[in-house]
Amino acid sequence: MGRSKAKSKGRPTAAKIEELAASVVELAAKRREPSMGIPLRTLSNAKYNKTKRIIEMGAARQDREFFKLGMAKSFMQTMLIASGCKQLIDEGKSVSIRGLYYRTKHTIAGTQEKTFNDQQESDPIIEDLEVAIGALREELHVFASTRGTIVGNLTIVSQGDTIDLRRMGAGGFGIPSICEPDVLGFKKCEADFVLHVEKDTVWQRFNEDKFWKKHNCVLTHGNGQPPRGVRRLLYRLHEELKLPVYVLLDNDPWGYYIYSVIKQGSINLAFESKRMAVPDAKFIGVRSGDFEQFKLPDDVKIGVDDKDVKRAKQILDYPWFEGKKEWKKEVDTMLKHGFKMEVESMMTKSISFVTETYLPHKLKHPGEWLD
Amino acid sequence: MAATKEKPLSKNRNIKSQMMLDFPGKRAPAPTPVSTKQPTPAPKLEKTPEKPRKSATKTFATAESLSKGQREISVSEFFAKNRHLLGFDNKRKALLTTVKEAVDNSLDACEEAGILPDIFVQVEQVEEERFRVIVRDNGPGIVKQQIPNIFGKLLYGSKFHRLRMSRGQQGIGISAAGMYGLLTTGKSLKVISRTGAKKPAHAFEIQIDTKKNEPTIVKDDTVDVEWPHGTQVEIELVASYAKGRQSVDEYVELTAIANPHARFEFVGPAGDRAEFPRTVNELPEQPHEIKPHPHGIELGVLIRLLQETKSHWLTGFLHSEFCRVGPQAAEEICKLAKLNTRANPRRIAKHEAETLYKAIQQTKLMAPPTNCLVPIGAQQILSGLLKGVKAEFYTASTRPPAVYRGNPFEIEVGLAFGGDLGPAPADENAPPAPPNEKQESVQAKIIRFANRVPLQYQQSACCIYKSVLDTDWRRYGIAQPGGGIPAAPMVVMVHMASVWVPFTSESKEAIADYDEIRKEIKLAMQDCGRKLQAFINRRKKQRYEGERRSIFERYIGEVVMACNSIKRVNQSKLEKDLLAIAKRVTARADEQLDDSGKVIKGKKKGDTPESEFGENTVVVERPPADAPTAQAKLIDD
């Protein structure tokens, strides 16, 4: 991220962190128990905004109190992360969440105890801090590892380099975890839409077949559930370049949920939905009906197990799936069939069936999409 | 040292004859022996007919030669062949049995004379496998003429069916120990006894003439001793000495626990000295003797009683020989047995004894009186445990008297928990347990007593042990891996007081597993368990609060540093403020809480109110191990 810009952007965040420390000092001086309000990142506190069609974080907060046995450590950890971020802002540098974990991990004086045992302990604390002070991750000068890839009829500028995404060979361009305009700017776009696929293997097929060239699009994948960077990029492609976003996912509960995250946002990062969710995204496949429609062989079937059934019902219960009859029908059909299908399974027909037959058909028939 | 055995009918002798009489049939725990006659050495001769059978098989002996052979069997032969029955199975146990017999006698003597016992025990190593046992008491002493009889005669007349609570059920008496010493070392038993400050002390050296079972006085002298009255016995014997479980050390320690009214001093072979002070200045009551309860006797006993009675009528016999048989009940029994109420008891003994026996068993009778029982008492158990076990929490529970097979008994349980209770509290060989470490892996130690005498062998065969296993200790917050012995730094003491303790075998080391007994033991243990649980919960609460504070204190430094790195702050002030809050938040750790969790004000640590854990409970604050003078406060009943 451009340093000068980040620095100016970092000031209000730094002030918020300072406030946090100041409140601890102040309360302690009054001999009151220090605490901080952390908005809850739970389903119960994830509200679906029907007008905006995105998931928003509710007002519920949990007081993280230092003098509660179960919270003392996480309170201490939050303060450590805050001080780590403050230091990054002051120095105008950014580190990965893993880097921050190492920056804040040490043995507590006089004990054998570590401030953090592993990164899985520090990652949620970073998210806690984001929501607690209402700062974005990049404003805290923290990023996650690069995940997801992009390729297509688009030219971008990243850290001063102009990159033509048509000339990325077999690898594509790794989507950085922070996709703010100062990290990744759009220079020239000739694409008509964005095709987002679930994972790398499918993306490779589409890239090798130069699908994006033939159909004039941008091709992305997010390695399963897309990380923030990918979602932020999809959002910006849609908002800034006005590209429609089509999503090709497996026909299973996992795929349904990935679609829902891209479209409405996630429960955990509900506070980020407004800058990540793409409510207009369309689910282009794979659909349960495709099995008959495309006369797929029985070999594509993967049996549905108890976990799938449970998860499918859970998904249908989410408020944002409420009233979506088509979706309910889709899930019910999958459960009725008793099998699920992966995008890759299309290859049983022929290697490029999905890029040459399936998707072109789907693109021509918006009626077969799901919203 | 069979001190007070001035009356020729001392329990000590009962035992001997009982041992002897029980032997032939090897009918183990039968509370009463089969034969009837007891006076003098005679019983031995009566018994022998069964023995020679084996040896006779190859010589085709005639009745005459048999009877000749029978007479040849001497006390010493019997003794040598049956050492294991008498507690001399091995060298280590021989030492223990010798000490035990002497100490039991001393305690009995002092108690019968109304003197608070003051007992000195010394084990001296003479040679590698030769030890000298010296036991001295402050009892009334023994008159000169009786000394040889008491120490130099085995199987001296008795009235062994006397139903009275006594230590004497254990072992076979000091003279047997003296004989063991004589047999193994050839040394005489030495006795010094003095009956009063103004009287001289008599010193005897006695040997038992094993052929005649008569004392042989080797030396008879007067000596000067510094003690005013009492008896000292000295026996040299082949033995081996080792500390730990089933040792003499353990015996003295356990005996001290069960007899808090006695003071013990023990000097081991290495010159190590242990003292167990008296903690109760009151003698236990002398137990009453009771007549047998009809439901508790066996047919053989009934026959004997029928033969011996002075009553002329059957109803009179029933009424006078047994407890709880009134004239009405006696008539009822006769009616049920279809016997004439005026029948001659001696005649019935020959013909209708079995019918009568069955009728007796079928008749409903009142339970036997229980005033014959003298329990140790909850307070005394606590004193004993306080003296013998360095724990943190003590509790005791006494059950009301109950009855098994017509024999009244009473169960008492004491429980000590925590503190310095290491791997095995009585085991001095074990490394001392680090005081503050978690000791959850430690197994509870069970200490068993019958009529104040410790039972050190055959633990797993004992009803007490089974009852401990049978109790669900998990309910009281104690781990019990595999439903076995509870795993906790804990000592469980169980005492059974009874006119007749049902032992599983002649060696009298384990109590038979009667449902009634087990039930009582369990109830008493559950009572102690509940009190222990209250204590454990309370301690957990305290520890939890303590942990809480230490967690806060640990993190305060981190929070202060983080705040300072975010924004320069007054670090020491912030730290002070946070510590003050931590102290306030966890103030409970320093407080005394009652059962309902309310704060008890104005009480210092260790000043635990009785109501907190239930009655008969003592909590001792033990500052980590090195402070031996822990302050204990006994709560009054």
What number is the average pLDDT over the span B355-360? Answer: 89
DSSP conformation class of A51: T
| Cβ–Cβ gap B584/A31 under 8 Å | yes
Q: What's the CATH number where B301 sits?
A: 1.10.8.50
CATH of the domain at A188: 3.40.1360.10
Tell me what the mean pLDDT of segment B189-196 comes to: 92
> What pLDDT does residue B11 have?
40
pTM of the model: 0.56
Same domain, A164 and A130: no
Same-domain status, A329 and A219: yes
CATH number at residue A37: 1.10.10.10
Strand blocks (E) in B226-330: 230-238, 263-267, 273-276, 289-290
- How far apart are the two ends of chain B, measured CA to CA in Å? 35
Residues A38 and A139 in one domain: yes
Residues of A in contact with B565 (CB under 8 A): 83, 86-87
Domain boundary among A86, A115, A143: A143
Q: Do A83 and B578 touch (CB under 8 A)?
A: no
Mean pLDDT score of chain A: 90
**Nearest residue to B210 (alpha-carbon basis) of B13, B409, B44, B390:** B44
d(CA B497, CA B410): 5
- Clarify whether residues A161 and A52 are in a common domain: no
Given a cut of 60, is residue A246 above it in pLDDT? yes
Q: Confidence band (pLDDT; 50, 70, 90) for B599? A: very low
Q: Is residue B369 domain-resident? A: no
What's residue B145's pLDDT?
Answer: 85
AA letter at A62: Q
B581 to chain A: closest CA residue: A31
B12 has pLDDT over 50: no
Residue B249, in any domain of the structure: no
pLDDT digits 0-9 by tens, B542-555:
777 777 777 888 89
Total number of domains constituting chain B: 4
pLDDT, averaged across chain B: 77
Q: What is the pLDDT of residue A233?
A: 95
- As a whole number of angstroms, the distance between CA B215 and CA B58 comes to 36
Task: Give domain status of residue B586, yes or no.
Answer: yes
Residue A83 · residue A93 · CB < 8 Å: no
Nearest to B562 among A28, A79, A113 (CB): A79
C-alpha dihedral sign at B455, B456, B462, B465: positive
* Same domain, yes or no: A123 and A189: no
**DSSP notation for A267-334:** STTGGGGGGT--TT-EEEE--TTHHHHTT--GGG-EE--HHHHHHHHHHHHSGGGTT-HHHHHHHHHH
Per-residue model confidence as pLDDT tens digits over A54-69: 999 988 888 999 988 7
Q: Is the pLDDT of residue B193 over 50?
A: yes
* Number of domains into which chain A is organized: 2
B266 in any annotated domain: no
Domain boundary among B362, B390, B422: B362
Position B621 pLDDT exceeds 70? no
Q: What is the residue type of B568?
A: R
Last residue of one domain, picked from the residues A143, A168, A193? A143
Helix (H) / strand (E) containing B409: strand B407-417
pLDDT band at B528 (very low <50, low <70, confident <90, very high): very high
Q: What is the CATH number of the domain that holds B24?
A: 3.30.565.10
- The answer to whether residues B139 and B166 belong to one domain is yes
Q: Do B552 and A82 touch (CB under 8 A)?
A: no
pLDDT of residue B70: 57
* Interatomic CA distance for residues A256 and A79, integer angstroms: 37
Residue in chain B closest to A83 (alpha carbons) equals B566
* Burial call A310-342: b when 16+ CB within 10 Å, e when fewer: ebbeebbebebbeeeeebeebbeebbebebbbb
Comparing CB atoms, the residue among A28, A82, A113 nearest residue B554 is: A113
A70 and chain B: CB distance < 8 Å anywhere? no
Is residue B508 included in any domain, yes or no?
Answer: yes
Nearest chain B residue to A85, by CA: B566
Q: Are residues B200 and B132 in the same domain?
A: yes
Task: Please tell me which of the candidates B547, B551, B559 has its beta carbon nearest to residue A24.
Answer: B559
Phi and psi angles of residue A189, each rounded to the nearest 5 degrees, phi first: -125, 125
Residue A129 has pLDDT above 90, yes or no: yes
Q: What is the pLDDT of residues B232-264, one digit of tens each?
A: 999 999 999 998 888 999 999 999 999 999 999
Tell me: the pLDDT tens digits for B496-526?
998 888 888 766 789 999 999 999 999 999 9
Examine the domain organization and report whether A137 and A153 are in the same domain.
no
Mark whether A42 and A161 lie in a shared domain.
no
Give yes or no: residues A137 and A218 share one domain.
no
Of B531, B557, B586, the residue at which a domain comes to its end is: B531
Reported as a pLDDT band with limits 50, 70 and 90, residue A287 is very high
What is the extent of the structural domain holding A274? 149-368
Give the mean pLDDT of B127-149: 90
H or E element: which one contains B318?
helix B314-321
Q: How far is A36 from chain B (nearest CA, A)?
A: 13
How many Å apart are CA B5 and CA A40, to the nearest integer? Answer: 86
Lowest mean pLDDT among A106-115, B155-164, B531-540: B155-164
Nearest to B174, CA basis, from B153, B159, B198, B158: B153
pLDDT band at B214, cuts 50/70/90?
confident
Asked whether residue B310 falls in the same domain as residue B181, the answer is no
φ/ψ bin of B271: left (φ > 0), alpha (ψ from -120 to 50), beta (otherwise): left
Alpha carbons A13 and A7: distance in angstroms, whole number: 10
- The reply to whether B30 and B133 lie within a common domain is yes
Radius of gyration of chain B, Cα coordinates, nearest whole angstrom: 29
Residue B83: domain span: 11-241
A32-53 pLDDT per residue, tens:
999 999 998 888 888 999 899 9
For residue A358, indicate whether it is catalytic: no
Q: Is the same domain home to A113 and A239? A: no
CA distances from A270 to A81, A259, A261, A279, B43 (A): 21, 15, 10, 14, 99
Regarding whether B151 and B225 lie in a shared domain, the answer is yes
Residue B385 lies in a domain: yes
Amino acid at A64: R
Q: What is the pLDDT of residues B563-598, one digit of tens each?
A: 999 988 899 999 999 988 888 887 755 554 444 444
Q: What percent of chain A has pLDDT over 70?
A: 97
Q: Are residues A178 and A224 in the same domain?
A: yes
Angstrom distance (rounded) from CA B410 to CA A225: 73
Which residues pair with residue A152 across a beta bridge? A218
The residue out of A92, A117, A143 marking a domain boundary is A143
Cβ(A234)–Cβ(A247) below 8 Å: no
Same domain, A161 and A125: no
Query: Same domain for B469 and B358?
Result: no
Chain A residues within 8 A of B581 when measuring between CB atoms: 28, 31-33, 67
pLDDT at B13 over 90: no
Residue B340 maps to a domain: yes
Provide the token pair at A206: 């589409």
Say if residues B294 and B318 touch (Cβ distance below 8 Å).
yes
- CB neighbour list of residue A161: distance below 8 Å, 6 or more residues apart: none
**Res. B14: pLDDT tops 70:** no
Cα–Cα distances in Å, from A254 out to A42, A65, A257? 19, 36, 5
- CA distances from residue B461 to A60, B86, B424, B509, B513 in whole angstroms, order as listed: 64, 18, 20, 9, 8
Average pLDDT, integer, range B457-475: 91
In a domain, B262, yes or no: no
Say yes or no for a CB contact (<8 Å) between B566 and A86: yes
Facing A17 at nearest CB: one of B555, B559, B566: B566
Chain B residues with beta carbon closer than 8 angstroms to that of A33: 581, 585
Residue B206 near residue B234 (C-beta atoms within 8 A): no
Say if residue A341 is in the same domain as residue A220: yes
The helix or strand, by DSSP H or E, that contains position A19, with its residue range, turns out to be helix A3-29
